[in-house]
Copies of this chain bind each other. A is one copy, B any other.
């Protein structure tokens, strides 16, 4: 940490930290997208996400939703109807994460179209 360029000090403290639980979670397939999609479409059902993504496998989407719910980032509400209905939405206090991630997805998509 001497003659290196450094954006700012707070970043220096956080950036190279070891894998934390949440980042581990976000590093799985479709985790980021799922989070943002739920934030945008909420309340959203399993089938809606499946068709929105188009190419997720049902097992992956299922376990991703399970992971995120278990981690407290999503809420799952099940209604006793036939056919069954399950709705997902962001947990009350996790909306902020989605707000941080959306620009990342925006960036990625913009890059996709320009490069």
Which A residues are closer than 8 A to B by beta carbons? 4-7, 10-12, 14-23, 26-33, 36-37, 39-43, 49, 52-55, 72, 96-109, 111-112, 115
Determine whether the beta carbon of A36 is less than 8 Å from that of B19. Answer: no
Contact sample, A vs B, 16 pairs, CB 8 Å cutoff: A4-B42, A12-B40, A14-B102, A15-B36, A15-B40, A15-B105, A16-B33, A18-B33, A19-B53, A20-B109, A22-B108, A23-B104, A27-B27, A27-B32, A101-B104, A104-B104
Nearest residue in B to A112 (C-beta to C-beta)? B20
Are B53 and A4 closer than 8 Å at their CB atoms? no
Task: List the B side residues contacting A54 at CB < 8 Å.
Answer: 18
How far, in Å, is A28 (CB) from chain B's closest CB? 7
| Interchain CA distance A28-B4 in the complex, whole Å | 27
